[in-house]
Amino acid sequence: MNTLNAKLLLAAAVSLALSSGAVYADDKDQAGPVVNARQEAQIWTTYALSPYLRATDLSISVVDGKATLTGNVAEDVQKDLAEAIAEGVNGIKKVDNQIKVEADYKAPNRSNTRGYADVVDDATITSAVKSKLLWSKYTEGMDTKVSTNNGKVELTGSVTSAEAKKHAETLAKNTKGVRSVDNRIVISDKAANGKSYSKTSAEGGSVIADSWITTKVKSTFMYSSNVNSSDISVNTDKGIVTLAGNVDSGAEQALAIELAQNIRGVKSVNAKQLIF
């Protein structure tokens, strides 16, 4: 329960930050029903995006700054999270939390329905995989496309080596939220731009700013399902990346090093300060 509480509190903090940062028109220029509907939609959207609330059957009604929450959840922490999210929405002055906690509550069966949260999750995965492929030193000559459906990633297009194809699949598999990867990339003798591809050319390339490399290494760690980015610091000097911090295992350490080495512009990785 302590782990669940910690995760829920983190989710609440993120949700509140997102909701409170939204930009609104002056409420005085809006009719009451319009403001009510907007606030209801914002609360519902945040519930839909939350992995802890999306499977629940909650209803929201807002009238003149008062939000009434109804429905059923299985845990007290879910009820508290729902209330915290509503309270964080701009213009909400009071929350009447009528949500009922039922230990044996079972969420409605929506297995055949593709919800808003599912669409957002898939779009996020697709964007993350595309970004990782774009930043990799092995993507030169690649003409790949990425699509995601319910966490299942499909890679299509062409590359000029088996190594590049395998690398694309590895990057996709090691992305948060990915359940499986269908690698349909074909190997072609020529790259999409007509140039030949080789490992040597991939490891070379033009000089890239250290700040760009640092940002992309950090982002790659953040997207990874097997590396805890919050525990690793990244610094780059003349293409040499230094990793420091703590990891849980030798496997995580090795993966962090590999992911950093694969970023464009990286000449070498110093991981002596990355310990487990």
> What's the CATH code of the domain at 174?
3.30.1340
Is there a single domain that holds both residue 132 and residue 188? yes
The region of weakest confidence among 31-35, 156-160, 204-208, 261-265 is 204-208
Over 80: is that where the pLDDT of 195 sits?
no
By CB atoms closer than 10 A (0-12, 13-18, 19+), residue 217 is: buried
The region of weakest confidence among 64-68, 87-91, 101-105, 169-173 is 101-105
Over 60: is that where the pLDDT of 20 sits?
no
Does the residue 19 lie in any domain? no
Torsion sign (Cα): 42, 48, 49, 52: positive
Question: Which tokens belong to 98?
Answer: 């009528």
Does the residue 264 lie in any domain? yes
Average pLDDT along the chain: 82
CATH number for the domain that contains residue 50: 3.30.1340.30
Is there a single domain that holds both residue 175 and residue 144? yes
Instruction: Report pLDDT digits (tens) over 169-184.
Output: 999 999 988 999 999 9
Distances 162 to 30, 153, 158, 208, 263 between C-alpha atoms, Å: 59, 19, 10, 26, 19
Does the residue 6 lie in any domain? no
Residue 245's nearest CA partner among 267, 217, 268 is 217
Structural domain containing residue 104: 29-113
Is there a single domain that holds both residue 97 and residue 58? yes
In this prediction, residues 103-123 reach a mean pLDDT of 76
In this prediction, residues 26-50 reach a mean pLDDT of 80
Domains contained in the chain, number: 3
Over 70: is that where the pLDDT of 16 sits?
no
Is there a single domain that holds both residue 97 and residue 34? yes
Residue 159's nearest CA partner among 126, 125, 127, 183 is 183
Does the residue 7 lie in any domain? no
The domain boundary residue, chosen from 169, 203, 237: 203
pTM: 0.65
